[in-house]
Structure 1
Amino acid sequence: MNTFKIRGILSLIIMFPALLLAQTFDNIDQGIQLQTLGMNVRIEFYTPSIVRVHKTLQSENFNNPTYVIHQPKQTTKVAVEKKEGFIYLSSAQLTLKVNPKTGSIEFLKSNGSNLLLDKDYGTNFSNILAGGKPFYKMRSEFLLEKDEAIYGLGQILDNKLNRRDSQHHLQNENMHTTSPYFMSIKGYGVYMDNYSISDFEDNKQGLSFECLGKAVDYYFMYGGNADGVVSQIRWLTGKTPMLPLWAYGFFQSKERYKTQDESVEVVKKLRSLKIPIDGIIQDWRYWPEHVNDSVWNSHSFDAKRFPDPLKWIDEVHKLNTKLMIVAWPAIGPLSPQWKPFKEQNLILNFDSYPKTSGARPYDVYNPKGIEMYWQSLNKGIYSYMKNDAWWLDSTEPDHMNVKPEDFEVPTFAGPYKTVKNAYSLLHNKGIATNQLATNPQDRVVILTRSGFLGQQKYGSITWSGDVRSTWENLEKQVPASLNFSLMGLPYWNSDIGGFQAFDWKKSGGTKSPEYQELYLRWMQFGLFSTMMRSHGTGLPREIWNFGQKGEWCYDGQEQCINLRYSLLPYIYSTSWDVSAHDGTFMRALFMDFPEDKKTHDLGTQFLFGKSIMVAPVTKYNVQNWEVYLPKGADWFDYWTNEKVVGGTSINRAVDKVTIPLYIKAGSIIPFGPKVQYATEKKWDNLVLKVYPGADGSFTLYEDEFENNNYQKGAYSEIPMTWNEKEQTLTVGERKGKYKGMLTKRQFTVKTNTGAEKVVSYTGKEVKVKL
């Protein structure tokens, strides 16, 4: 009997579990291994609160390779006991109840309360072919509580936050960035370590993942709350590096600036208008133009339109601005790197974008492919130009002229459909790690169109893709950004104004009152995204195209950009919380208010950091906007200082230039000086605005703003606490130091009620009574 038929029999054993019942198990390091229902099952504790479950058919001896898990097991005391037909595994935080007859695994808190059930007979392997070779379609079923809210899966533009009672095809494409992962309101998360095209479904019968491969391999993480789960997924898959301060400024872009002079002139005009900017972005086709785009992504510059790249970037830098340059994973057949990649069998055999160019993606799964891609990019652009950031477009990658057999194409890691969803992760990794190896002091900044859980390790900022410029799409950005962030991926943004704006040309374009309002509302949302970036096609996006100073659309944009810059001390300190303490920028409200059930499905609002609640307006021509202020805190209207008791829904009056913002009582928010770029002025007289009503704290973080010396301890933290009873702000003793640190400074301490005091600070504790 051949191997493939044996696999079929073992698959039948799983579907008819009474044929084979496990009676014994073996102790392994921090866990057990048993055979049940035709499977080898290995259960092992990675930490007291993280468990790995690995299942294969007994006919397979397969250890699932991983692209994202970077941590070995930590020493954990695990007790194993067999009682009344069940096997119990217990750590200090979790107990697992394993049924060796049915294969079920019940995850319990240490106090015995239920978290999740890996169902009886819930794992099924079905034979399939992938690339002409035997693989399995693997179905894993779990049982949740009836009203248990879950989140995650990634950026899905369906306008929903809670993922219960839904089904989703997990195939990373433009505007659709997913990972097989979910988080529960009960404080646990599950990550299936699998990179194939997959499916997720939740219904009354249970929750399931259906993936391709040879092993079911998942991690159960109990964090107690959402922040705890995010911390654990980052521990497993990689911590988030700091971005430079300038990366939190304003970026101007469009599809596209056709010459080096054009982009320089844009920066000059913004400077003349006193509109702050930190980044100008160069989109595609800066390379030599050729019929049908056949020199696509050649890592070179057109001699006529970009005659002197060194002069170009020098001019940009002299204007105190950074330059981000696009690169694609697809290679055109007349590009110079095509031949060496083809000779090394490093071209994946399906069409990418542009549709008729002949461009095809390189094999990112092959380490040689990553190495050669960086060598080409480094030689053609980075080594002599030292551009400040990368825009890695089409990292899904784009797939044109699609044929079913394309997904069977072999890659270094196996058939394409079994590893597709990891493409962006590995492409971003290749650029980031090679750039750091070339210049270890660089803080890598990457804007990318796709992603996968773990990509946060490479400084990648994912954007939502080429969405159409509609109100419906603006509305969908909000819950999509939150579910993306809940995967532990903190850096996200969208094209301000929406990418595809061609439809607005017939109604006046950037002079259309409705498009102007859409653009401004999108900018208000972008102000509170982790990257603030204007971009799109069909219509130009620079501020002067929408009017002039004194007109509502122009003034509203200017207000947004200036507010972004005044918040930089708050944003940069939040960035440190993300990197050092596994914090999250764009926080679904249930993260901070899990006891308030009204937050569980609320995807129209979020906290930016831990103090500023943002309620983006996503409808046209409204005069009022419904806002829910969560129970568990009191809130202050940022614009009026009006106090609202938590647990209240209000209709907040809004004009076109106002986004509803509410500050949590007890917050301390530092505001920086008015600047034209992020590092223009020192933070030697920050305004510390206190919102009383509860005790509160904040840590002001500072470093050298651009290099990696912070990783060697070159940074400072200034702890601040507000005592509500005493009405006193304590600016604590500074911790740490770095080159260029302010040793003397002032803080202007204000409350939202009008009290104000100026204090000098030299690093020693200061108390301010208000």
Structure 2
Amino acid sequence: MNMRIIYPLVLTFFLLTSCHSEVQLSENTSYTFSENILTINTEGSSYQVLAVDEDIVKVSYSDSITYSNRVYGPILTKVIKAELKQEGDVLVFSTNNVRVEITTDPVNFSFYDKESGLKLQEDKGYHRRDDLTAFSYKLKDDEAIYGTGSRSIPQNRRGYKFQCFNQANYGYGVGADFLNYSVPAFVSSEKYMVLIDNPARAWFDIGKEKKDVLDFASTGGNMAYYFINGQGYDEILSKYGLLTGTQPLPPIWAFGNLQSRFGYRNQQQTDSVVTAMLNAGFPLDAIIIDIYWFGEELQDGYMGNLSWDKKNWPNPDSMIKVFADKGVKTITVSEPFVTRKSKNFEYLSENKLLGLDSAGKTMTMPYFYFGDAGLIDIFKPEARNWFWQQYKREKERGIAGWWGDLGEPEVHPDDMVHVNGLAKEVHGIYGHEWIATLYENYEKDFPNDRLFKLGRAGYAGSQRYGLLPWSGDVARNWSGFQAQNEVMLGMSMSGLPYMHSDAGGFAMFPRDSILYIRWLQYSVFTPIFRPHGDPNAPAEPIFYHQKVQDIVKKSIELRYALLPYNYTLGWKTQQTGQPMAQPMFFAFEEQNFSDKLSDQHMWGEDLLVAPIWKKKSAKRDIVLPEGDWYDFYNYSHVEGGDKITVEVSDD
């Protein structure tokens, strides 16, 4: 039973259940409290405070040049009952669980759990410096900060400064502090979370310049944040799931072996790979076709055509059906860029469905790698509808899933004009609106089918649309591999439970059979199993030595043996908002695990995964939580509560 004790206190205060008339606090500051919303007016500016849950309070700021009236990530918007007290010159806004104390000269917010005390206190609160707008918060001495999206830096972000901006980082490895998927949200060891609902170009400074201050500074955008209270990490992420939505279950085949490559050049080659994989005894649920399905050239290859190149794919309908009869789904890539050479460019440009310049003309980017191109204005309803019609046509052809690439967007000039603002203000929400376009139209046109969409970028809340993010164009080397647990677990702590990687590594480096084995073994215990890579090394196991094939086949077969367990994890994630892959400090919070222990993780509640991160490894140390543990491979019993050392073999 969760008991809350009410202590009778004698205080001098005013209890305001509703105050429609304006109350003057000083010459320049006044407030109203109407319909459970507190509005504080200062000279030329306004703060608004409201609660959407007993543990979730929203604070927003606006003035003549700053807005805060947009809602991007959250879906929980109904205002709940709150109380307001005036205690001298301090306003106290309260729900059943949270108390917010607000000083008014200057305006500053402090957030309390009614049982445990102070959780979060603003430093400067909202302020401007140079051309940036910012919120800043005080950090306690030993406070750790987690989340903020995809980064291959330590789980505790304290001591780091980095951009909060979706941006590709080709060939990255350990230490990459910016990647394709940033999230303007953080979780504290003090058991609270903050979501700053602002997709503009921004930066986090988490105790780097001032060790006791967390600063979020942006190039304008929506200046609103949500304080989320909780008693533990699991409750915090559940509340975050309530606020922004939880991840729906993907189709069951999404938990199988999804084979990909950059890229299959033609129908004959794709068919030969599928046939060879099945003949070699490898379970296979999907084949993923990269950009060559709509054009044979890499650069100036008609990106944006979004229709089959009949020269190299003479009968895609037949191919898709043949694969489907073998139990193999077909997935195709798409991008939001449309090159000038595309058959669709003229129509989209004439109808202003692409991003514009300040003169209202289509803005193209001649420096874009794949050719001079425009960018679909995904925020414009007419553009979304056009984009969806391309997907709908291919869905009716038999395409089972989608791979959305370059969706940061990879090239996105700050001064590009979208229907809802400049690119620098809405950049972070682009991938979010893309996945929302598919999800919402699936609900309308294909209500009995579950959406499968891989995406490289999104926003807070993109999980509710079923986005399956991957960690970008990672280097095919040991540093790239070693970066993946930090990335996956950081996304888990950001409310995005399906982060995974290009298994085997994507970029630049040649074949390394041991690396390939270790990466695929690791990927068995990640949300999506998807070997993928550039042409410098094969992504398919059939092109490796027989010994490698035998080892990898065992891993893939294990992935399928775990299907009931993994599918149940997906269901639990949908129901609770809990991550599938969990940091040790999250899974065993009561045992006070160090957040530095990030080379192992829990896969669900029952499997502790300790990958082999180095090429030459004869032994592996594993830290076991307290309790009874059993070796997965030989079922031997091990008493927990200490570090053990195990022998390492190839398989």
User: Deviation per CA, 1:487-517, whole angstroms, max 9, x where unpaired?
Assistant: 21111210111101x432xxxx3xxxxx111
Q: Residue type matched to 2:166 in 1?
A: N
User: Deviation per CA, 1:47-82, whole angstroms, max 9, x where unpaired?
Assistant: 11000001123x458442123222222533x22212
Structure 1 residue 418 and structure 2 residue 425: aligned? yes
Instruction: Give the deviation of 1:375 after TM superposition.
Output: 1.9
Look up the SS of the partner of 2:291 in the other structure.
coil
TM-score by length of 2: 0.89
Question: Which residue does the alignment assign to 2:35?
Answer: 29
| Alignment check: 8 A CA contact 1:90 1:110 kept | no
User: Deviation per CA, 1:460-492, whole angstroms, max 9, x where unpaired?
Assistant: 110111111111111111011111122211112
Superposed counterparts of 1:538-617, under 5 Å: 538-548=536-546, 551=547, 553-617=548-612
Question: Which residue does the alignment assign to 1:55?
Answer: 61
Cα gap change, 1:100 to 1:238, in 2 (>3 Å): same
Question: Which residue does the alignment assign to 1:170?
Answer: 164
Question: Which residue does the alignment assign to 2:519?
Answer: 522
Question: Which residue does the alignment assign to 2:134?
Answer: 139
Q: Residue type matched to 1:224 in 2?
A: Q
Structure 1 residue 639 and structure 2 residue 633: aligned? yes
Instruction: Give the deviation of 1:235 after TM superposition.
Output: 1.8
| Alignment check: 8 A CA contact 1:525 1:616 kept | yes
Cα gap change, 1:97 to 1:276, in 2 (>3 Å): same
Cα gap change, 1:523 to 1:21, in 2 (>3 Å): farther
* Separation in structure 1 between the aligned mates of residue 83 and residue 422 of structure 2, nearest angstrom: 41
Give 1:395's match in structure 2, choosing from 404, 407, 429: 407
| Alignment check: 8 A CA contact 1:479 1:603 kept | yes
User: Deviation per CA, 1:710-749, whole angstroms, max 9, x where unpaired?
Assistant: xxxxxxxxxxxxxxxxxxxxxxxxxxxxxxxxxxxxxxxx
User: Deviation per CA, 1:507-541, whole angstroms, max 9, x where unpaired?
Assistant: xx3xxxxx111111111111111110100011112
Question: Which residue does the alignment assign to 2:467?
Answer: 460
Question: Which residue does the alignment assign to 1:369?
Answer: 383
* Separation in structure 1 between the aligned mates of residue 351 and residue 230 of structure 2, nearest angstrom: 45
Look up the SS of the partner of 1:503 in the other structure.
coil
* Separation in structure 1 between the aligned mates of residue 425 and residue 624 of structure 2, nearest angstrom: 44
Instruction: Give the deviation of 1:141 after TM superposition.
Output: 0.5
Q: Residue type matched to 1:50 in 2?
A: I
* Separation in structure 1 between the aligned mates of residue 29 and residue 263 of structure 2, nearest angstrom: 66
* Separation in structure 2 between the aligned mates of residue 48 and residue 617 of structure 1, nearest angstrom: 44
User: Deviation per CA, 1:83-126, whole angstroms, max 9, x where unpaired?
Assistant: 2432212221111111112322111111251111122x332134
Give 1:71's match in structure 2, choosing from 48, 53, 76: 76
Cα gap change, 1:397 to 1:352, in 2 (>3 Å): farther
Superposed counterparts of 1:456-535, under 5 Å: 456-500=463-507, 502-504=508-510, 509=511, 515-535=512-532
Look up the SS of the partner of 1:80 in the other structure.
strand
* Separation in structure 2 between the aligned mates of residue 71 and residue 606 of structure 1, nearest angstrom: 31
Cα gap change, 1:452 to 1:269, in 2 (>3 Å): same
The percent identity for this pair of structures is 27
Question: Which residue does the alignment assign to 1:6?
Answer: none
* Separation in structure 2 between the aligned mates of residue 481 and residue 640 of structure 1, nearest angstrom: 28
* Separation in structure 2 between the aligned mates of residue 590 and residue 483 of structure 1, nearest angstrom: 12
Give 2:128's match in structure 1, choosing from 125, 132, 135: 125
| Alignment check: 8 A CA contact 2:66 2:222 kept | no
* Separation in structure 2 between the aligned mates of residue 290 and residue 199 of structure 1, nearest angstrom: 37
Look up the SS of the partner of 2:137 in the other structure.
strand
* Separation in structure 1 between the aligned mates of residue 521 and residue 368 of structure 2, nearest angstrom: 33
Look up the SS of the partner of 2:414 in the other structure.
helix
* Separation in structure 2 between the aligned mates of residue 241 and residue 353 of structure 1, nearest angstrom: 38
Instruction: Give the deviation of 1:249 after TM superposition.
Output: 0.4
Which of 1 and 2 has higher RCO (CA within 8 Å, sep 6+)?
Answer: 2
* Separation in structure 2 between the aligned mates of residue 290 and residue 267 of structure 1, nearest angstrom: 23
Cα gap change, 1:495 to 1:215, in 2 (>3 Å): closer
Superposed counterparts of 1:324-363, under 5 Å: 324-348=331-355, 349-351=363-365, 355=369, 357-363=371-377
Structure 1 residue 653 and structure 2 residue 651: aligned? no
Look up the SS of the partner of 2:484 in the other structure.
helix
Q: Residue type matched to 1:653 in 2?
A: E
Cα gap change, 1:72 to 1:430, in 2 (>3 Å): same
Question: Which residue does the alignment assign to 2:311?
Answer: 304
Deviates more, 1:256-265 or 1:636-645: 636-645
| Alignment check: 8 A CA contact 2:622 2:644 kept | yes
User: Deviation per CA, 1:192-211, whole angstroms, max 9, x where unpaired?
Assistant: 01011100011113001001
Give 2:112's match in structure 1, choosing from 92, 108, 113: 108
Cα gap change, 1:115 to 1:434, in 2 (>3 Å): same
Q: Residue type matched to 1:517 in 2?
A: I
| Alignment check: 8 A CA contact 1:140 1:210 kept | yes
Deviates more, 1:353-362 or 1:581-590: 353-362
* Separation in structure 2 between the aligned mates of residue 588 and residue 394 of structure 1, nearest angstrom: 29
Question: Which residue does the alignment assign to 2:241?
Answer: 234
Look up the SS of the partner of 1:293 in the other structure.
coil
User: Deviation per CA, 1:250-290, whole angstroms, max 9, x where unpaired?
Assistant: 11111111112222222222222221111111111211346
Deviates more, 1:616-625 or 1:23-32: 23-32
Look up the SS of the partner of 1:370 in the other structure.
helix
Whose radius of gyration is greater, 1 or 2? 1
| Alignment check: 8 A CA contact 2:199 2:426 kept | yes
| Alignment check: 8 A CA contact 2:201 2:428 kept | yes
Instruction: Give the deviation of 1:563 after TM superposition.
Output: 0.7
| Alignment check: 8 A CA contact 1:34 1:41 kept | yes
Give 1:382's match in structure 2, choosing from 395, 399, 407: 395
| Alignment check: 8 A CA contact 2:298 2:370 kept | no
* Separation in structure 2 between the aligned mates of residue 624 and residue 339 of structure 1, nearest angstrom: 61
* Separation in structure 2 between the aligned mates of residue 253 and residue 455 of structure 1, nearest angstrom: 23
Q: Residue type matched to 1:650 in 2?
A: I
User: Deviation per CA, 1:280-314, whole angstroms, max 9, x where unpaired?
Assistant: 11111211346942511311111121111110101
Look up the SS of the partner of 2:112 in the other structure.
strand
Question: Which residue does the alignment assign to 1:46?
Answer: 52
Question: Which residue does the alignment assign to 1:740?
Answer: none
RMSD, aligned α-carbons: 2.0
Q: Residue type matched to 2:137 in 1?
A: F
| Alignment check: 8 A CA contact 1:599 1:630 kept | no
Cα gap change, 1:621 to 1:334, in 2 (>3 Å): same
Instruction: Give the deviation of 1:554 after TM superposition.
Output: 2.1
* Separation in structure 1 between the aligned mates of residue 68 and residue 617 of structure 2, nearest angstrom: 56
User: Deviation per CA, 1:188-240, whole angstroms, max 9, x where unpaired?
Assistant: 11000101110001111300100132552001111322222222222222232
| Alignment check: 8 A CA contact 2:49 2:57 kept | yes
* Separation in structure 2 between the aligned mates of residue 28 and residue 227 of structure 1, nearest angstrom: 34
Look up the SS of the partner of 1:99 in the other structure.
strand
* Separation in structure 1 between the aligned mates of residue 575 and residue 467 of structure 2, nearest angstrom: 17
* Separation in structure 1 between the aligned mates of residue 451 and residue 504 of structure 2, nearest angstrom: 26
Cα gap change, 1:292 to 1:594, in 2 (>3 Å): closer
* Separation in structure 1 between the aligned mates of residue 235 and residue 36 of structure 2, nearest angstrom: 22
Q: Residue type matched to 1:467 in 2?
A: V
* Separation in structure 1 between the aligned mates of residue 252 and residue 466 of structure 2, nearest angstrom: 13
* Separation in structure 1 between the aligned mates of residue 212 and residue 297 of structure 2, nearest angstrom: 56
Q: Residue type matched to 1:168 in 2?
A: F
User: Deviation per CA, 1:3-58, whole angstroms, max 9, x where unpaired?
Assistant: xxxxxxxxxxxxxxxxx87654221332422134753111111111000001123x
Look up the SS of the partner of 1:418 in the other structure.
helix
Instruction: Give the deviation of 1:327 after TM superposition.
Output: 0.7
Cα gap change, 1:156 to 1:358, in 2 (>3 Å): same
Q: Residue type matched to 1:498 in 2?
A: G
User: Deviation per CA, 1:147-201, whole angstroms, max 9, x where unpaired?
Assistant: 112211100123x111111111112012511011001123211000101110001
Q: Residue type matched to 2:622 in 1?
A: V
